[in-house]
Amino acid sequence: MLPSGIKVNTHDAEERPGMGGMGKETKIARVLIAISVVFGLFAVATLLAIVIGGLPARPGIFPAGALLLAAVKTAGIGFGLAAYRTIGRGDLARAGRYALVAGFLPPLDLIALFAGLLVIFPHGEEGAG
């Protein structure tokens, strides 16, 4: 039993470790990373369809190049998933680095780049004053 007059903050006890203070920008970045991963999956599926021959390739696109691009984009998807999971754990600096790597891998993913920058650079009212 607690002595009368001591209050227990149950809200902090319900959060996962490392999730304290997950701000609005962090939540937006997490959604943007999820959107980037979904778009990346569509891009890989399209590139693989070009390789297999189900979709006609534009002149100048070789199946080997499309396969190589699909492999690199798959690595970018992996980094995007790692960034998504790392944000959930609360390690924002590492999640931002993962998102930046996912964004810079070809083809350039501006959504992941923006999400990585949103997570890495601090936002909030603590600097306004």
Query: Which residue, among 110, 91, 121, has the nearest Cα to 36 in the 3D structure?
Result: 110
pLDDT tens digits along 61-83: 678 888 899 999 999 999 999 99
Predicted pLDDT of residue 34: 96
Q: What are phi and psi of 67, to 5 degrees?
A: -65, -40
Predicted pLDDT of residue 3: 59
CA distances from 18 to 15, 31, 33, 80, 85 (A): 8, 18, 19, 20, 12
| pTM, 2 dp | 0.74
Q: At what angle do helices 63-89 and 110-120 cross, to 10 degrees?
A: 20
Give the pLDDT band of residue 56 (cuts 50, 70, 90): low
Rounded to an integer, the average pLDDT of 84-97 is 94
Q: Give the start-to-end residue ranges of the domains of the chain.
A: 23-120
